[in-house]
Amino acid sequence: MIRQFELVERVREYNPNTDEALLNRAYVFGARAHAEQTRLGGGPFFGHPLEVAAILTELRLDDASIVTALLHDTIEDTAATRDEIARLFGAEIADLVDGVTKLTQLELTSSETAQAENFRKLLLAMAADVRVILVKLADRVHNMRTLDPLAPDKRQRIARETMEIYAPLAGRMGMQSIRVELEDLAFEVLNPEARTSLMRRFLKLKRDTGDLIPQISAEITEVVAATGVGVEVQGREKRPYSIWRKMEEKQTSFSQLSDIYGFRVLCDAEEDCYRALGAVHRHWRNVPGRFKDYISGPKANGYRSIHTTVYGAGAMRVEMQIRTRAMHEVAETGVAAHWAYKDGHRAHNPFAVDPFEWLRELVERLEKGDEPQEFLEHVKLDMFTDQVFCFTPKGDVVGLPRGATPIDFAYAIHTNVGDHCAGALVDGRRVPLWTRLRNGQQVEVITAEGQTPSPHWEDMAQTGRAKAAIRRALRERLREEQAGLGRDLAEQSFARAGRSGGRKAFAAAAAKLGFASLKAMLVNLARGEVTGRQLVEAVYPSQPKGAGSTPPEPDSANTPPKPIVRGIRRGAAIRFCTCCWPIPGDRIIGLSRKGGVVVHAISCPLLAEFEDDLEHWHDLSWDPEASKKASNVARIDLTLANQPGTLGTVCSLVGEQQANIDNLGVTTRKPDFFLMSIDLEVRDVKHLSDILTALRAQSFVNQVERAITPPEHEAEEAAGEQPRLPLGSSPAPRN
């Protein structure tokens, strides 16, 4: 077990500015909290948090992450609380510890519905702070290293969870060193016989051929050095699980595998990588189809490297990865490189990806799933699968899960390409869309304008992105069919009512009925959730019997009755603003002016001039009697097509709505359209809204709105009555 001063010294090596007092306080707090606890193996429990912290020092993480590792089990396993940790160590560390605790409590191998919800929680924790996952992965590494004391069934459960969830997650985050170790530790538990057999064959191979790694490393160094490029060569035997997986995929035996050694060639600069590659290919013959350039086309998790395989001595295949030291750091630690410290400061690695970038993309894609099972399917397909890398005709690299088809490739390029995919050429040959793609293949998607996704594409696709896009396209196609049926039903309903239908009439009905769009209303009509009669009534509402049948009684001056307003003392003179044209149903305000009170709608722009003069404001309301007769004047502005019969149709529609045209005037006349203003006598705001809806439904009406006259063009208010517009003239400017 690592000791306190050793942990502090490790952190100080890469971060001389570390807060040693904070680390020591966390050590003491954790040691006291876990003082009476032991692990199943018999050792002190606090040894586990210490080792987790030690793993994080290898990633050169910040003080907050190290402290979180020391405290990550305190909330769950001791009497310590989140508030206590926040008080002693700050809110940032308390949030991290709480996040790790919540992840620990997830049962990631439960039923599908619960598992999908747990994955959502996992992603939320990652979105809040990626360091939560880094601590959790280190925690899982140490737990896997110390599985022996557990019961066999529990070891199996933890190992399977590690293989299915945490190892692929580490890989998706670019943390290959942790992924490889987790896979191999889980493989040892899940298939110990296979691992033991592979280890024995390795030992026999070493006895027969000797240790080839130093020999090959020296030869690579010498070959590259001859070009003037200084490199560091790291050789290794591939891990048992990696070899076993390759044997399973290729259905081959250990003796038939030739690339069981891997070498990393580390250079100082990017251009040195390509010079080293040239030296290697000049000295050894490369294996066709085994070259990939991830420097020019990085993987989504930030991985950059040149991969090549050559034939070495005795026709043995030698796999090489050529990259810079900065690229190597990202290849080993992934998003953790974003948090790494060096010499007391956050280390800037130009190849480290933003840890939230790929997570944001994943969350956006997963949120499109309609059901928990669909969400879970997306997670497994997009995060927890091995990848193959194919090329576009332009040489761009597209990463896909193993077993992907040209359909997945098409949707990976763009949704429109996928939706119109009519076929594919793989390495120049036409192949069926269900063909499984292999590493290194060039894929060209053939598109056709009239092509649309087919239901059986969903069974062919392997990626969550493709499956989700296909489902959306199929749902949209169904909606289009339902909208077409709804349009036919709407036309029939308007025809039966003796009214003209068409897109404008339907759009007016959709707006009146509160639908988000015309298509939404038509789909609902096809589904029977709204009736055709409701559509017709929305545009041409039936008038109640007797409504508007009694004409207004004119006074001696032959003017319409005055609207009745409450809130003004009896006998006070009333005038109505000719800027906002208030009618019953509008919220109204009165302003004391010379000669009486002027009534304004609350939205009137003139009120802004009197914001600081509130003592002259009156809160008014309409008397219920005001809306019983169509005697309130409202002005509307129309833009009409200049064609025969339009004005007559407008007048007819107004009459059908039991309203009266009090005055009208053409303000602008053009060859193809004219603008006009009409004064209507209406009951109230609802009555006016019905008229506007009926007008908007007409094809020849380009625009119709309730008039708001700008203050600078406001006509003089006529005492006691709403004003009239002189026929054929514009409103007079205000004095």
Q: pLDDT tens digit string along 264-295?
A: 999 999 999 999 999 999 999 988 878 888 89
Task: Say if residue 671's pLDDT is above 90.
Answer: no
Tell whether the torsion through CA atoms of 362, 363, 368 and 373 is positive or negative. positive
Of the chain, the percentage scoring pLDDT greater than 70 comes to 82
Chain center to CA of 129? 18
* CA separation for the pair 499, 505 (Å, rounded): 10
Cα→Cα distances 204→207, 244, 476, 566, Å = 5, 17, 61, 104
Q: How confident is the model at residue 735 (pLDDT cuts 50, 70, 90)?
A: very low
Of 102-106, 235-239, 728-732, the least confident: 728-732
Residue 163 pLDDT > 70:
yes
Which tokens in the block code for residue 569?
């003392």
Q: Answer with the residue of higher pLDDT: 658 or 722.
A: 658
- Would you name the residues annotated as active-site residues? 76-77
- Cβ partners under 8 Å of residue 507, min gap 6: 518, 696, 697
CB atoms closer than 10 angstroms to residue 534: 14
Report the SS3 class of residue 661.
Answer: strand
Q: Which two tokens stand for residue 643?
A: 């064609």
What is the pLDDT of the chain when averaged over all its residues? 81
Q: Average pLDDT, stretch 171-196?
A: 89
The confidence score (pLDDT) of residue 257 equals 62
At residue 51, the pLDDT reads 94
Q: Which two tokens stand for residue 196?
A: 């033991």
Q: Are 501 and 494 in contact (CB under 8 A)?
A: yes
pLDDT tops 50 at residue 548: no
| Fold type of domain 629-713 | Alpha-Beta Plaits (3.30.70)
Q: Which amino acid is present at 33?
A: A
Beta bridge partners of 292: 307
pTM of the prediction? 0.56
Q: Indicate the Cα dihedral angle 341, 342, 348, 349, nearest 10°.
A: -90
Most confident of 198-212, 415-429, 527-541, 646-660: 415-429
pLDDT level of residue 129 (50, 70, 90 thresholds): confident
Mean pLDDT over 161-180 rounds to 83
Q: What are phi and psi of 438, to 5 degrees?
A: -120, 160
Fold observed for domain 4-190: Hypothetical protein af1432 (1.10.3210)
Residues 290, 308: Cα–Cα separation, whole Å: 6
Task: Mean pLDDT check: name the lowest of 21-25, 303-307, 643-647.
Answer: 643-647
May I ask the CATH architecture of the domain 209-346? Answer: 2-Layer Sandwich (3.30)
Nearest to 527 by CA among 485, 497, 488, 477: 485
Which phi-psi region, left, alpha or beta, contains residue 728 (left: φ > 0; alpha: ψ -120 to 50)? left
d(CA 327, CA 278): 19
Q: Where are the domains of the chain?
A: 4-190, 209-346, 473-539, 565-626, 629-713
Q: Would you say 136 and 103 are in contact if contact means Cβ atoms under 8 Å apart?
A: yes
CB-CB contact of 125 with 159 (8 Å)? no
Average pLDDT over residues 414-421: 92
Residue 732 banded pLDDT, cuts 50, 70, 90: very low
Q: What is the pLDDT of residue 259?
A: 62
Q: Which of 228, 236, 284 lies closest to 262 in space, CA to CA? A: 236
- Round to whole Å and give the CA distance between 706 and 636: 4
Please determine, for residue 568, whether its predicted confidence score (pLDDT) is greater than 80.
Answer: no
Q: Check whether 441 has a pLDDT greater than 80.
A: yes
Using CB atoms within 10 Å of the CB of residue 82, give its burial: 0 to 12 exposed, 13 to 18 middle, 19+ buried.
middle
Tell me the DSSP string of 280-292: HHHHSEEPTT--E
Report d(CA 538, CA 521) in Å as an integer.
12
What pLDDT, in 10s, does the model give residues 32-85?
999 989 888 788 999 999 999 999 999 999 999 999 999 999 998 899 999 999
Beta strands in 163-246 (DSSP E): 232-237
Taking CA 266 as the corner, what is the angle to CA 261 and CA 270, rounded to the nearest 5 degrees?
A: 130
Give residue 116's pLDDT. Answer: 56
Give the range among 221-225, 274-278, 724-728 with minimum mean pLDDT.
724-728
> What's residue 119's pLDDT?
62
**DSSP secondary structure, 329-373, as one string:** HHHHHGGGGGT-EETTEE---TTPPPTTHHHHHHHHHHTT-SSHH
pLDDT tier, 240 (very low <50, low <70, confident <90, very high otherwise): confident
Report the distance separating Cα 30 and Cα 69, nearest Å: 10
Identify residue 472 by its one-letter amino acid code: R
- Per-residue pLDDT for 524 more than 80? yes
pLDDT band at 663 (very low <50, low <70, confident <90, very high): confident
Higher pLDDT, 224 or 698: 224
* 251 vs 643, higher pLDDT: 643
- Stretch 122-144: mean pLDDT: 82
Phi-psi region of 343 (alpha: psi -120 to 50; beta: other; left: phi over 0): left
